[in-house]
Chain A
Amino acid sequence: MEIEIGKTTKYLRDKQGVPDSAKEKLKEFNQIKKAIVEALKEHEMTIPQLAEKLQMSKPDVAYHLLTLVKYGVVAIGEIDDMDEYFSYKLVK
């Protein structure tokens, strides 16, 4: 059977399925992304502030937030008066 160019995803999905680990990672990322986006809707926040609000560890927030900066969802704001922590805001 000829598989149409541009529509090959179904071929591999039918052939080997999707690993559960991949589905789990996607679910986890979407939950964290949603939580971060919701929190930043109110106002700009630093990573420690966001970690406290979301009750998540600072390293986890740092990783996901800085990843969202890379993906263009979040933008970098100003650095604080002590030149220690940047604040982060949603991209309009």
Chain B
Amino acid sequence: MEERQIIEYDALVIGAGIAGGEAAINLANTGYKVLLVEKDHSLGGKMILLSKVFPTLDCAACITTPKVSEIARHNNITVFTESEVTHIAKKGDNDFVAQIMKKPRYVRVEDCTACQLCEKACPVSVRDEYQFGLIGRKAAFIPFSIANPKAAVIDIENCTLCGACEKACPTHCIDFTMETEYYELHAKTVILATGFNLFDPLEIPRFGYGQYKNVITSMQMEREIAPTRPYNTILRPGDGKVPDRIAYVLCTGSRDNTIGNPICSQICCMYSMKQAQLLMGALPMADITIYYINIRSFGKGFEEFYQQAKGMGVNFVKGKIGKITEKENGNLILRYEDIAEGVVKEAEHDMVVLSVGVKSNPSAGKIFDGNSLKLDPLQFVAQQDFLGSPAKTSIDGVFVAGTASGPMDIPDSILSAGSASSEAISYLTRYQSL
């Protein structure tokens, strides 16, 4: 059996996206010692990879990077990246025991200067997951330019162990002797901020994703329009053409019982309108068409944002897409039901963006003793008192933040994290004063 190091913190926060990060900061600012566990190589979750946010069109990185920097430097927060909480047992009030597995990064973060010489020396090239497969990356790589910690990582599955990175490293921070570390954490409260999974459009073969390379997901387009984009401008991944006519297919994998996800993503209308407006800035001559079932502009400033998109010339078509096919030149034919006219039509576009929905990340349900953490029918963390105390879960002392409990946008995720951290502080205080 592996050796476990015993560690102790006031609070365990699982997931270092915007919700987990916010909850950790709130707890840490109140004086509690927090362990923030993240499975990925960087803090920031999905938000740090976005271009801008709706409806203000503020730069996403400009909001996220100061926050992740504050998290990383906070005296009361310890961050474990490349780590997973494998099991949590509640022993009593204010008494949780968690098992944590920390995978090796093969780079000593404290010594890495992010000089990228290892990246230059590495001969391997594989698809870059942080650019959603649009471009390659090396096996020795910095995850992305605003990653935190900004340090190299070795992708050991694709590494040929040639030693070039180690030879090139001026600080000798690459260390292939690093091994998986195991911890036993004693904590008084737990916050689950495990986020969501994006819908995988391979589940809808009639849209041609994976088969037709000019059908991309909204996250791939998000990368194409971000300042840290993979290409010099917006290009079709199928042949490098600058697209003229771009279509968005809203509700891809949302509000669709046939793929088992009947709920609204709450974000795909608005992020598509955001991307459409940004595309009109990047490609002033392009025609952007958004195919929708209903526009749900329910939040503060959302309806004005919708009107702004229309005013800029974005074409909105109330239509449900039946099938997408590809022409020889890489253009795509969308066959759709024009809901307003009640007829089936076809339209040709250079590129199609699937506005993918939000699915649950049910991993949190598996880590608690005896399935004591209840999930809702769609596998999101169930909220025991949805209206009165939305952060409470089925386990007293375990709270949920952000999209782990259901689809929501960034401001709502941050509000939810505030609620979870307040509930956690209240729980900690309740038992401290006894």
Whole-angstrom distance between the alpha carbons of A12 and B154 in the complex?
Answer: 13
Known: A6-B166, A64-B136. Contact between A18 and B160, CB under 8 A?
yes
Tell me if A34 is interfacial: C-beta within 8 Å of chain B: no
The yes or no answer to A7 lying at the interface (CB within 8 A) is: yes
Minimum distance in angstroms from A66 CB to a CB of chain B: 6
Checking B124, B162, B236, B240 against A25 with a beta-carbon cut-off of 8 angstroms, the contacting residue is B124
Contacts A19-B157, A23-B160, A26-B123 hold; do A66 and B135 have CB atoms under 8 A apart? yes
Contact residues in B for A66 (Cβ distance below 8 Å):
134-135, 230-231, 235, 240
Shortest CB–CB separation between residue A2 and chain B, in angstroms?
A: 10
Which size bracket describes the interface of A in this complex? Answer: 35 or more
CB–CB A5/B135 < 8 A: no
B55 at the interface (CB under 8 A from A): no
Number of interface residues of B (CB under 8 A): 38
Assess whether B239 is in contact with A62, with CB atoms less than 8 Å apart: yes
B242 near A62: Cβ-Cβ < 8 Å: no
Any chain B CB within 8 A of the CB of A70?
yes
Q: Which residues of B contact A40 (CB under 8 A)?
A: none
B34-42, B169-177, B364-372: which lies at the interface: B169-177
* Distance in angstroms between the alpha carbons of A24 and B127 in the assembled complex: 14
B119 CB → nearest A CB, Å:
9
B74 within 8 A of A: no
- With beta carbons under 8 angstroms apart, the residue of B158, B176, B230 that contacts A12 is B176
Given A9-B162, A10-B163, A66-B230 in contact, is the A46-B240 Cβ separation under 8 Å?
A: yes
Chain B: CB-nearest residue to A3: B177
B159 / chain A contacts, CB cutoff of 8 Å: 18, 22
Q: Let me know if A67 and B135 touch, CB within 8 A.
A: yes
Judge whether B124 and A6 touch: CB under 8 Å.
no
Min CB–CB distance A16 → chain B (angstroms): 9
A73-88 residues with Cβ-Cβ distance < 8 A to B are 76, 79, 83-86
Cross-chain contact B242 with A47 (CB below 8 angstroms): no
Residues of the B chain whose Cβ atoms lie less than 8 Å from the Cβ of A21:
157-158
Which B residues lie within 8 Å of A12 (CB)? Answer: 161, 176-177
Using Cβ atoms and an 8 Å threshold, which residues of chain B touch A30?
A: 123
Contact of A11 among B134, B177, B232, B242 (CB under 8 A): B177
Give the residue name and chain of the B residue nearest to A9 (CB). B163
Extra pairs beyond A6-B166, A8-B174, A85-B241 (11, CB < 8 Å): A12-B176, A18-B161, A29-B124, A30-B123, A47-B239, A47-B241, A58-B213, A58-B239, A66-B231, A83-B285, A85-B239
